[in-house]
Amino acid sequence: MNIAFLDLEFGQVYGSYRRDFIPIEIGAVISGSEDDAPVLLSKEFHCDIDLVLRKNITDPVGKTVGLEERVVNTGRKEHQKQFDPSYRLPKNGKKALRELSNQTFIELREYTQALFNQYDIAQIVLFGGREDRNLLS
């Protein structure tokens, strides 16, 4: 019985509502193989849209003391764009956002289905817990 431990990373679409997320990366550890060696896999999803990535800032003892927000565009390989919290996505960008989001989720589904079939996955563990489940449903 193989188990897949999945870690999904999502980016919020810059200028959209906080509910608009696109997958940007998946990491997987497959456990339970015959030789007992874990299989490590990952895939990045590159799309030409600006996404907000958030990272907690911690002090030396690990306590969260702030939040770093930056804008990236993986399709154009731009990673240090300035974040402006007042920016809003123009209306004509919303249709393109939906199409791109749908395509990226299809790509994620195809990748995970192939992974589950190839390694005969019987159980899935998500590191993001409820948040990942909500975004995937």
- pLDDT tens, position by position, 28-64: 999 987 777 899 999 999 988 999 988 899 999 999 9
pLDDT value of position 57: 93
Please name the amino acid found at residue 90.
Answer: P
Please name the amino acid found at residue 38.
Answer: P
| Eight-class DSSP state of 75 | T
pLDDT value of position 16: 86
Distance CA 75, CA 58 (A): 29
Query: pLDDT per position in the chain (137 positions), as tens?
Result: 899 999 999 888 999 876 788 999 999 999 987 777 899 999 999 988 999 988 899 999 999 999 999 999 988 999 888 899 899 988 887 778 888 888 999 999 999 999 999 999 999 998 876 777 776 66
Residue 55 forms beta bridges with which residues? Answer: 68
pLDDT value of position 137: 62
Judge whether 106 and 112 are in contact, CB under 8 Å.
no
pLDDT value of position 38: 92
Domain boundaries, given as residue ranges, for the chain: 2-136
Could you give the C-alpha distances from 115 to 3, 29, 49, in angstroms and in order? 11, 11, 26
